Structures are given as C-alpha cells and as structure tokens.
Amino acid sequence: MQKQLVVIVILISSFFSTNSWAQLTPSKFQEAAPRQNIYVELGGNGIAFNAMYETRFKKSADGIGFKAGLGGFTNYYEKVFTLPLGVNWLLTKDNKHFFEMGFGATFLHYEDTFDWGWPGGSYDPYPMDVAGLTIDAKNSVFGHMTLGYRRQPANGGIMWGVAVTPQFNENGFWPVWFGLKFGYSFARK
C-alpha cells in the first residue's frame, strides 16, 4: 500500500508542476468563454452511472478544468449514491481529439436495505466491497484518477469519451476501472 501511495503522490505532484507551466502558456484554441460540457458517464469516477458538469478555468477548449456530478444506482437490496468532484486537464493538437488526465475525490453513500425477516434482527454489512473498493462505513470518500480519450467538436456539439479511472481509498487500490461518457459541449467563439 505504501508503494501505491508514493506512486499516487508522484503522479499528483507532476500534474501540479506541469499545470503551473500550462497556466502560463496561452492556448491555441481561445474562446469567448470557458468551454462547458454536460454529459452522462457509465462507470468512471462515480463508479456506476453519473450526470456530470464540467468547465475550463480559462477561456479555451483545452487546459485545466473542474468537474462535478451526481450518480449512483439502486437494486433490490442496496442503494448507492455518489458525488464525484475533480480537476482535469485536456490536451489537444487539433481542438477535436483530446487526451484527458485528472484526479479527484468521490463521496460514496452505501445503504444495505436487505430485510433479514426477523423482528429486531440486526446486520452490519461492513466492511463491504463496492466495485472493487472495500468500504468500512455507510459514508466514505475515495480518490480517483482519469486517463482517457475524448472527442469534442471544435465548435461545440455532441461529445464522447472513454477513460481508465483507477479508484483508491485507505483499504486499497483498484487500478482497472473504466468510464464511458456521452454528452454535449458548449463552445462560445
């Protein structure tokens, strides 16, 4: 676990040092307002199904941005609610095809609703495995990273992407998790 934390710290540190340089470099794809995206994501940073909003910090289609969303799922015996928040960096050469990398944290609320069928019966489901991560309580927070590809039209329109989104918390590291996104990109030229 210590080796994994060291790797994560190195990745985040390199992201911030590169980010500092990127903020000083003007974008080749300037816009009248920061690019904004709304999309739904299957898998990804919120584990299940998410509705996400994203914006760039500068008036451009690429560069550093912020994203936030709501997600979760429910079935016969469990309910999961997620709130992913993160920072990402979009890199492009042609303002259509983007490499995305980022990191953030996701709040997770897990509720086991299974009825054991006897009055006063109690059941403690924790620790519980949710999508490869072991959680210890009903409410928890885990970290996530994003490395992926995004197709985003230069003048706005339908956007989509796919990414590897590793998840981690104090109980471990889940390196193989994927996300698929589909939505709309708002550009102001």
pTM over 0.75: yes
Cα–Cα distance, 45 to 24 (Å, whole number): 28
Question: Percent of the chain, pLDDT > 70?
Answer: 77
| pLDDT of the residue at 28 | 79
Over range 123-149, report the average pLDDT: 80
At residue 149, what is the residue type?
A: Y
For residue range 57-114, what is the model confidence (pLDDT) as tens digits? 999 999 999 999 999 988 877 888 999 999 999 999 999 999 999 999 999 888 876 6
**At CA 92, angle to CA 152 and CA 151, rounded to 5?**
20
Residue 47 inside a domain? The answer is: yes
CB atoms inside a 10 Å sphere around CB 96 = 14
Q: Report how far residue 78's alpha carbon sits from residue 111's, in angstroms, rounded to the nearest whole number.
A: 6
> Greatest CA span in the chain, whole angstroms?
66
Does residue 66 lie in a domain region?
A: yes
Domain that holds residue 123: 33-186
Q: Among 177, 186, 111, which Cα is nearest to 144's?
A: 177
Q: Is residue 1 part of a domain?
A: no
Q: 3-state class of 186 per DSSP? A: strand
Total number of domains constituting the chain:
1
Inside any domain, residue 125: yes
- CA 151 and chain centroid, separation: 17
Q: Does some domain include residue 40?
A: yes
Cis peptide bond N-terminal to 127, omega within 30: yes
Residue by residue, DSSP assigns 28-94 as SSB-SS--EEEEEEEEGGGSSEEEEEEEESSSBSSEEEEEEEEEEEE-SSEEEEEEEEEEEEEEESS
CATH number of the domain enclosing 46: 2.40.160.20
| Residue 60 domain flag | yes
